[in-house]
Amino acid sequence: MAADPDARQRTAKPRVLIVGPVAPVGGMAQFIRLVTTHEESCEWHTHSTYRGEKTEKRGKGVGYGQLTSGGLGRLLASGAKTIGKILIYPWVVLAKRTQVCYLTFAPYLVFWEMVFYTIWSRLLFRPILAHQLGPLDQFYEASPGWVRWIIRRTVLVADGHLVLTHGVANMLRSWGCKAPIDVVPSAVDVDHYCPGEGHREEGHEPFLLFMGGARPRRKGIDLVVEAFTRIAERFPDLRLKLSGGDEIYPFEQPLSEAGLAGRADLVGFVDEDEKLEYMRTCHLFLLPSRMECVPYAIIEAMACGAPVVGSDIGGIPETIVENETGRIVPNEDVDALADAMEAILADDELRARMARQARERAVAEYSLDAAMAKVGAMTRYVFRPSEEGPGQSSSASGRQSPSS
Protein backbone atom coordinates (compact mmCIF):
# COMPACT_ATOMS: atom_id res chain seq x y z
CA MET A 1 0.00 0.00 0.00
CA ALA A 2 1.44 3.36 -1.02
CA ALA A 3 2.45 5.73 1.76
CA ASP A 4 0.38 8.86 2.22
CA PRO A 5 2.59 11.79 1.04
CA ASP A 6 0.56 14.25 3.12
CA ALA A 7 1.21 12.18 6.25
CA ARG A 8 4.95 12.13 5.51
CA GLN A 9 4.90 15.90 5.11
CA ARG A 10 3.05 16.38 8.41
CA THR A 11 5.55 14.25 10.36
CA ALA A 12 8.72 15.59 8.71
CA LYS A 13 10.92 17.80 10.85
CA PRO A 14 10.83 21.44 9.69
CA ARG A 15 14.21 22.78 8.55
CA VAL A 16 14.87 25.83 10.69
CA LEU A 17 17.59 28.44 10.26
CA ILE A 18 18.33 30.16 13.56
CA VAL A 19 19.98 33.56 13.08
CA GLY A 20 22.09 34.92 15.91
CA PRO A 21 25.56 34.99 17.48
CA VAL A 22 27.21 31.57 17.53
CA ALA A 23 29.86 32.87 19.92
CA PRO A 24 32.03 31.65 22.83
CA VAL A 25 30.19 33.71 25.47
CA GLY A 26 26.92 35.55 25.98
CA GLY A 27 23.33 34.70 26.83
CA MET A 28 22.12 34.68 23.21
CA ALA A 29 24.93 32.35 22.17
CA GLN A 30 24.16 30.08 25.10
CA PHE A 31 20.51 29.89 24.08
CA ILE A 32 21.42 28.97 20.49
CA ARG A 33 23.70 26.20 21.73
CA LEU A 34 20.95 24.83 23.97
CA VAL A 35 18.34 24.82 21.19
CA THR A 36 20.53 23.23 18.54
CA THR A 37 21.74 20.49 20.89
CA HIS A 38 18.60 19.73 22.93
CA GLU A 39 15.50 20.49 20.80
CA GLU A 40 14.85 17.41 18.66
CA SER A 41 11.54 18.05 16.90
CA CYS A 42 13.13 20.32 14.27
CA GLU A 43 16.15 20.14 12.01
CA TRP A 44 18.33 23.04 13.15
CA HIS A 45 20.82 25.06 11.12
CA THR A 46 22.57 28.28 12.08
CA HIS A 47 23.55 31.53 10.40
CA SER A 48 25.94 33.21 12.80
CA THR A 49 25.94 36.98 13.21
CA TYR A 50 29.05 36.73 15.40
CA ARG A 51 31.87 38.80 13.96
CA GLY A 52 34.72 36.80 15.48
CA GLU A 53 35.80 39.51 17.91
CA LYS A 54 37.68 38.48 21.00
CA THR A 55 35.65 39.31 24.09
CA GLU A 56 38.26 41.71 25.41
CA LYS A 57 38.09 43.67 22.12
CA ARG A 58 34.37 44.27 22.27
CA GLY A 59 33.09 47.80 22.61
CA LYS A 60 32.76 48.86 26.22
CA GLY A 61 29.79 51.19 25.83
CA VAL A 62 26.14 50.65 26.59
CA GLY A 63 23.60 50.79 23.76
CA TYR A 64 24.81 52.68 20.69
CA GLY A 65 27.98 53.64 22.59
CA GLN A 66 29.36 50.27 21.50
CA LEU A 67 29.67 51.65 17.96
CA THR A 68 32.49 54.08 18.72
CA SER A 69 34.00 52.71 21.93
CA GLY A 70 36.38 50.43 20.03
CA GLY A 71 37.70 53.13 17.68
CA LEU A 72 37.21 53.81 13.99
CA GLY A 73 39.13 50.71 12.89
CA ARG A 74 36.92 48.41 14.93
CA LEU A 75 33.80 50.19 13.67
CA LEU A 76 34.77 49.75 10.00
CA ALA A 77 35.85 46.14 10.38
CA SER A 78 32.78 45.19 12.37
CA GLY A 79 30.48 46.98 9.92
CA ALA A 80 32.04 45.25 6.92
CA LYS A 81 31.60 41.82 8.50
CA THR A 82 27.99 42.55 9.43
CA ILE A 83 27.11 43.75 5.92
CA GLY A 84 28.77 40.67 4.43
CA LYS A 85 26.76 38.31 6.61
CA ILE A 86 23.51 40.10 5.75
CA LEU A 87 24.25 39.99 2.01
CA ILE A 88 24.93 36.25 1.92
CA TYR A 89 21.86 35.41 4.01
CA PRO A 90 19.48 34.75 1.05
CA TRP A 91 21.90 32.19 -0.37
CA VAL A 92 22.23 30.52 3.03
CA VAL A 93 18.44 30.27 3.31
CA LEU A 94 18.20 28.68 -0.15
CA ALA A 95 21.22 26.41 0.25
CA LYS A 96 19.92 24.97 3.52
CA ARG A 97 16.37 24.65 2.11
CA THR A 98 15.12 26.66 5.06
CA GLN A 99 11.44 26.37 5.93
CA VAL A 100 11.37 28.61 9.03
CA CYS A 101 13.57 31.64 9.74
CA TYR A 102 14.14 31.86 13.48
CA LEU A 103 15.44 35.38 14.25
CA THR A 104 16.94 36.16 17.67
CA PHE A 105 16.43 39.79 18.66
CA ALA A 106 18.25 41.97 21.20
CA PRO A 107 18.33 45.77 21.65
CA TYR A 108 20.32 48.40 19.80
CA LEU A 109 22.85 47.12 17.26
CA VAL A 110 21.48 43.57 17.14
CA PHE A 111 17.98 44.88 16.50
CA TRP A 112 19.09 46.82 13.43
CA GLU A 113 20.78 43.71 12.05
CA MET A 114 17.55 41.78 12.54
CA VAL A 115 15.61 44.44 10.63
CA PHE A 116 17.54 43.44 7.50
CA TYR A 117 17.20 39.70 8.21
CA THR A 118 13.45 40.23 8.62
CA ILE A 119 13.24 42.00 5.26
CA TRP A 120 15.22 39.24 3.51
CA SER A 121 13.11 36.50 5.10
CA ARG A 122 9.90 38.13 3.92
CA LEU A 123 11.26 38.67 0.40
CA LEU A 124 12.08 34.95 0.32
CA PHE A 125 8.52 34.11 1.47
CA ARG A 126 9.72 32.29 4.57
CA PRO A 127 7.71 32.26 7.81
CA ILE A 128 9.41 34.10 10.66
CA LEU A 129 9.65 33.19 14.32
CA ALA A 130 10.92 36.16 16.35
CA HIS A 131 12.55 35.38 19.69
CA GLN A 132 13.11 38.43 21.91
CA LEU A 133 16.24 37.49 23.86
CA GLY A 134 16.86 40.99 25.20
CA PRO A 135 14.95 43.70 27.08
CA LEU A 136 12.77 44.86 24.20
CA ASP A 137 10.61 46.93 26.56
CA GLN A 138 13.59 48.91 27.88
CA PHE A 139 14.95 49.43 24.36
CA TYR A 140 11.55 50.63 23.14
CA GLU A 141 11.09 53.09 26.01
CA ALA A 142 14.59 54.53 25.49
CA SER A 143 14.07 55.07 21.74
CA PRO A 144 12.74 58.14 19.91
CA GLY A 145 9.38 58.03 18.15
CA TRP A 146 10.64 57.12 14.68
CA VAL A 147 12.70 54.22 16.06
CA ARG A 148 9.69 53.00 18.03
CA TRP A 149 7.70 52.92 14.77
CA ILE A 150 10.41 50.75 13.12
CA ILE A 151 10.54 48.46 16.16
CA ARG A 152 6.79 47.87 16.03
CA ARG A 153 6.71 47.37 12.27
CA THR A 154 9.63 44.94 12.33
CA VAL A 155 8.49 42.86 15.29
CA LEU A 156 4.86 42.60 14.19
CA VAL A 157 5.87 41.11 10.82
CA ALA A 158 6.68 37.79 12.55
CA ASP A 159 4.35 34.79 12.36
CA GLY A 160 5.06 33.78 15.96
CA HIS A 161 6.80 35.24 19.00
CA LEU A 162 8.81 33.86 21.88
CA VAL A 163 9.65 36.26 24.71
CA LEU A 164 11.45 35.98 28.02
CA THR A 165 9.02 37.90 30.22
CA HIS A 166 5.30 38.52 30.60
CA GLY A 167 6.03 42.25 30.44
CA VAL A 168 7.31 41.99 26.87
CA ALA A 169 4.40 39.70 25.92
CA ASN A 170 1.90 42.25 27.20
CA MET A 171 3.69 45.03 25.32
CA LEU A 172 3.39 43.12 22.03
CA ARG A 173 -0.31 42.65 22.64
CA SER A 174 -0.73 46.34 23.35
CA TRP A 175 0.68 46.96 19.85
CA GLY A 176 -2.12 44.84 18.39
CA CYS A 177 -0.05 41.70 17.78
CA LYS A 178 -2.26 38.95 16.34
CA ALA A 179 0.41 36.24 16.02
CA PRO A 180 0.81 33.71 18.86
CA ILE A 181 3.08 34.67 21.76
CA ASP A 182 4.62 32.34 24.32
CA VAL A 183 6.75 33.22 27.34
CA VAL A 184 9.89 31.07 27.51
CA PRO A 185 12.20 32.20 30.33
CA SER A 186 15.91 31.52 30.14
CA ALA A 187 16.43 27.86 31.01
CA VAL A 188 19.39 25.84 32.22
CA ASP A 189 20.33 22.20 32.65
CA VAL A 190 19.42 21.83 36.32
CA ASP A 191 21.22 18.48 36.50
CA HIS A 192 24.45 20.22 35.53
CA TYR A 193 23.86 23.40 37.53
CA CYS A 194 23.20 21.87 40.92
CA PRO A 195 24.46 22.17 44.50
CA GLY A 196 27.71 20.43 45.34
CA GLU A 197 28.13 17.73 47.95
CA GLY A 198 27.76 18.71 51.59
CA HIS A 199 26.90 22.15 52.96
CA ARG A 200 27.54 24.86 50.36
CA GLU A 201 29.45 27.12 52.79
CA GLU A 202 31.36 24.45 54.68
CA GLY A 203 35.15 24.63 54.39
CA HIS A 204 35.13 27.86 52.32
CA GLU A 205 35.90 31.45 53.12
CA PRO A 206 32.69 33.50 52.92
CA PHE A 207 32.57 35.34 49.61
CA LEU A 208 30.28 37.34 47.36
CA LEU A 209 30.17 36.47 43.67
CA PHE A 210 29.60 38.84 40.74
CA MET A 211 29.74 37.51 37.15
CA GLY A 212 29.41 40.27 34.58
CA GLY A 213 30.27 38.46 31.36
CA ALA A 214 31.50 40.69 28.55
CA ARG A 215 29.70 43.80 29.90
CA PRO A 216 30.42 44.08 33.65
CA ARG A 217 29.50 47.79 33.82
CA ARG A 218 26.10 47.10 32.32
CA LYS A 219 25.71 44.37 34.94
CA GLY A 220 26.46 46.82 37.77
CA ILE A 221 30.01 45.98 38.83
CA ASP A 222 30.57 49.51 40.16
CA LEU A 223 27.51 49.17 42.39
CA VAL A 224 28.76 45.85 43.73
CA VAL A 225 32.21 47.26 44.54
CA GLU A 226 30.75 50.30 46.29
CA ALA A 227 28.31 48.18 48.32
CA PHE A 228 31.13 45.83 49.33
CA THR A 229 33.21 48.72 50.65
CA ARG A 230 30.24 49.77 52.81
CA ILE A 231 29.69 46.40 54.49
CA ALA A 232 33.26 45.07 54.56
CA GLU A 233 34.01 46.36 58.06
CA ARG A 234 31.07 44.44 59.59
CA PHE A 235 32.15 41.18 57.89
CA PRO A 236 35.97 41.15 58.22
CA ASP A 237 36.35 37.64 56.74
CA LEU A 238 34.17 38.35 53.68
CA ARG A 239 35.76 38.32 50.23
CA LEU A 240 34.55 39.50 46.82
CA LYS A 241 35.05 37.62 43.54
CA LEU A 242 34.60 39.61 40.34
CA SER A 243 34.37 37.73 37.04
CA GLY A 244 34.02 39.18 33.55
CA GLY A 245 35.81 41.01 30.76
CA ASP A 246 38.41 43.75 30.90
CA GLU A 247 35.99 46.20 32.51
CA ILE A 248 36.56 44.55 35.90
CA TYR A 249 40.22 45.53 36.21
CA PRO A 250 39.85 49.32 36.70
CA PHE A 251 38.10 48.46 39.97
CA GLU A 252 41.38 47.36 41.51
CA GLN A 253 42.03 51.04 42.28
CA PRO A 254 38.88 51.85 44.32
CA LEU A 255 39.25 48.55 46.18
CA SER A 256 42.86 49.38 46.94
CA GLU A 257 41.95 52.90 48.08
CA ALA A 258 39.40 51.38 50.46
CA GLY A 259 42.04 49.03 51.85
CA LEU A 260 40.26 45.99 50.40
CA ALA A 261 42.61 44.92 47.61
CA GLY A 262 43.62 41.87 49.63
CA ARG A 263 39.99 40.79 50.02
CA ALA A 264 38.99 40.95 46.34
CA ASP A 265 39.74 38.49 43.55
CA LEU A 266 39.45 39.83 40.00
CA VAL A 267 39.36 36.50 38.18
CA GLY A 268 38.40 37.60 34.65
CA PHE A 269 36.56 35.07 32.50
CA VAL A 270 36.38 31.62 34.10
CA ASP A 271 35.85 28.18 32.60
CA GLU A 272 32.78 26.08 33.29
CA ASP A 273 34.33 24.10 36.16
CA GLU A 274 35.41 27.28 37.95
CA LYS A 275 32.00 28.87 37.42
CA LEU A 276 30.25 25.86 38.93
CA GLU A 277 32.59 25.83 41.92
CA TYR A 278 32.04 29.54 42.59
CA MET A 279 28.26 29.31 42.27
CA ARG A 280 28.08 26.24 44.49
CA THR A 281 30.10 27.80 47.31
CA CYS A 282 29.37 31.54 47.33
CA HIS A 283 27.39 33.01 50.23
CA LEU A 284 25.57 35.39 47.88
CA PHE A 285 25.33 36.00 44.13
CA LEU A 286 25.03 39.63 42.99
CA LEU A 287 23.75 41.03 39.68
CA PRO A 288 22.38 44.61 40.01
CA SER A 289 22.10 45.08 36.23
CA ARG A 290 21.23 48.37 34.56
CA MET A 291 19.75 46.70 31.47
CA GLU A 292 18.58 43.12 31.52
CA CYS A 293 15.97 40.63 30.49
CA VAL A 294 16.26 37.24 32.23
CA PRO A 295 19.98 36.65 32.83
CA TYR A 296 21.24 33.09 32.64
CA ALA A 297 23.71 33.82 35.44
CA ILE A 298 20.94 34.38 38.00
CA ILE A 299 19.15 31.15 37.07
CA GLU A 300 22.41 29.18 37.06
CA ALA A 301 23.29 30.53 40.51
CA MET A 302 19.82 29.71 41.83
CA ALA A 303 20.06 26.18 40.42
CA CYS A 304 23.35 25.80 42.30
CA GLY A 305 21.57 26.86 45.50
CA ALA A 306 22.84 30.43 45.81
CA PRO A 307 20.70 33.26 47.21
CA VAL A 308 20.61 36.14 44.71
CA VAL A 309 20.37 39.92 44.94
CA GLY A 310 19.38 41.65 41.70
CA SER A 311 17.95 44.94 40.45
CA ASP A 312 14.31 45.64 39.59
CA ILE A 313 15.10 45.70 35.88
CA GLY A 314 13.59 43.66 33.04
CA GLY A 315 12.75 40.08 33.98
CA ILE A 316 14.81 39.96 37.17
CA PRO A 317 11.76 40.68 39.38
CA GLU A 318 9.97 37.79 37.62
CA THR A 319 12.93 35.50 38.44
CA ILE A 320 13.83 36.32 42.05
CA VAL A 321 11.08 35.84 44.63
CA GLU A 322 11.51 38.64 47.16
CA ASN A 323 12.60 37.36 50.59
CA GLU A 324 12.31 33.75 49.42
CA THR A 325 15.08 33.16 46.86
CA GLY A 326 16.85 36.49 47.42
CA ARG A 327 16.24 40.21 47.31
CA ILE A 328 15.27 42.71 44.62
CA VAL A 329 16.66 46.24 44.94
CA PRO A 330 15.91 49.46 43.04
CA ASN A 331 18.10 50.11 40.02
CA GLU A 332 21.23 52.18 40.77
CA ASP A 333 20.47 52.20 44.52
CA VAL A 334 23.76 51.35 46.26
CA ASP A 335 22.27 51.91 49.71
CA ALA A 336 19.52 49.36 49.09
CA LEU A 337 22.01 46.91 47.59
CA ALA A 338 24.32 47.15 50.61
CA ASP A 339 21.38 46.79 53.01
CA ALA A 340 20.11 43.68 51.21
CA MET A 341 23.58 42.11 51.19
CA GLU A 342 24.06 42.87 54.87
CA ALA A 343 20.67 41.45 55.89
CA ILE A 344 21.26 38.13 54.12
CA LEU A 345 24.89 37.75 55.24
CA ALA A 346 24.01 38.45 58.87
CA ASP A 347 21.31 35.75 59.08
CA ASP A 348 22.60 32.19 58.57
CA GLU A 349 19.12 30.68 58.83
CA LEU A 350 17.66 33.10 56.27
CA ARG A 351 20.55 32.47 53.89
CA ALA A 352 20.13 28.68 54.14
CA ARG A 353 16.40 28.94 53.52
CA MET A 354 16.92 31.20 50.51
CA ALA A 355 19.53 28.80 49.11
CA ARG A 356 17.12 25.87 49.37
CA GLN A 357 14.21 27.79 47.85
CA ALA A 358 16.38 29.16 45.04
CA ARG A 359 17.24 25.63 43.98
CA GLU A 360 13.61 24.52 44.21
CA ARG A 361 12.44 27.45 42.07
CA ALA A 362 15.11 26.87 39.41
CA VAL A 363 14.10 23.22 39.07
CA ALA A 364 10.37 24.00 38.98
CA GLU A 365 10.39 27.02 36.66
CA TYR A 366 13.56 27.02 34.54
CA SER A 367 14.19 23.46 33.47
CA LEU A 368 15.60 22.87 30.02
CA ASP A 369 13.00 20.28 29.02
CA ALA A 370 10.06 22.65 29.58
CA ALA A 371 11.71 25.48 27.66
CA MET A 372 12.69 23.30 24.69
CA ALA A 373 9.14 21.92 24.50
CA LYS A 374 7.81 25.47 24.12
CA VAL A 375 10.45 26.38 21.53
CA GLY A 376 9.67 23.28 19.49
CA ALA A 377 5.91 23.78 19.69
CA MET A 378 6.03 27.40 18.53
CA THR A 379 8.51 26.62 15.75
CA ARG A 380 6.31 23.80 14.43
CA TYR A 381 3.27 26.06 14.62
CA VAL A 382 4.98 28.79 12.57
CA PHE A 383 5.98 26.12 10.03
CA ARG A 384 2.47 24.72 9.79
CA PRO A 385 -0.27 26.65 11.68
CA SER A 386 -2.93 24.43 13.23
CA GLU A 387 -6.44 24.53 11.86
CA GLU A 388 -7.69 25.75 15.25
CA GLY A 389 -5.50 28.82 15.04
CA PRO A 390 -2.87 30.22 17.38
CA GLY A 391 -3.42 31.19 21.00
CA GLN A 392 -1.90 33.53 23.53
CA SER A 393 0.11 32.65 26.61
CA SER A 394 -0.94 35.35 29.04
CA SER A 395 -3.89 35.30 31.37
CA ALA A 396 -4.98 38.45 29.54
CA SER A 397 -6.25 36.06 26.90
CA GLY A 398 -8.24 32.91 27.48
CA ARG A 399 -6.64 31.14 24.54
CA GLN A 400 -3.76 28.71 24.78
CA SER A 401 -0.28 28.88 23.36
CA PRO A 402 0.84 26.21 20.86
CA SER A 403 2.77 24.44 23.64
CA SER A 404 -0.32 23.96 25.80
Q: Which of 318, 312, 300, 288 is nearest to 210 (CA)?
A: 288
Q: In this structure, are residues 397 and 391 in contact, taking their beta carbons and an 8 Å threshold?
A: yes
378 plus 271 within the same structural domain:
no
356 falls within a domain: yes
DSSP state, 57? G
Lowest mean pLDDT of 50-54, 185-189, 342-346, name the range. Answer: 50-54
CA distances for 263 relative to 57, 70, 142, 311, angstroms? 28, 32, 38, 24
Q: What integer is the mean pLDDT of 123-134?
A: 95
* Residues 236-283: tens digit of each pLDDT: 999 999 999 889 999 999 999 999 999 999 999 999 999 999 999 999
In a domain, 403, yes or no: no
69 and 164 in a single domain? The answer is yes
Cβ atoms of residues 59 and 75 within 8 Å: no
Residue 30 lies in a domain: yes
Q: What is the pLDDT of residues 338-380, one digit of tens each?
A: 999 999 999 999 999 999 999 999 999 998 998 999 999 999 9
- Are residues 224 and 281 located together in one domain of the fold? yes
pLDDT for 57 beyond 50: no
Query: Could you tell me if 225 and 361 lie in one domain?
Result: yes
390 in any annotated domain:
no
Q: Which residues form the domain of 52?
A: 11-187+368-383
311-346 pLDDT, tens per residue?
A: 999 889 999 999 999 999 999 999 999 999 999 999
Same domain, 336 and 376: no
- pLDDT of 170 above 70: yes
Burial class (CB in 10 A: 0-12, 13-18, 19+), 370: middle
| 172 & 252 share domain | no
- The answer to the question of residue 44 being in a domain is yes
Alpha-carbon distance 131 to 133, whole Å?
6
Assess if residue 49 is contained within a domain.
yes
Residues 294, 318 contacting (CB under 8 angstroms): yes
Same domain, 166 and 221: no
165 and 234, same domain (yes or no): no
- Residues 87, 226 within the same domain: no
Whether residues 159 and 272 fall in one domain: no
pLDDT band at 390 (very low <50, low <70, confident <90, very high): very low
374 and 351 in a single domain? The answer is no
237 and 297 fall within a common domain: yes
CATH number at residue 315: 3.40.50.2000
Domain for residue 6, yes or no? Answer: no
Residue 400 lies in a domain: no
Total domains, the chain? 2
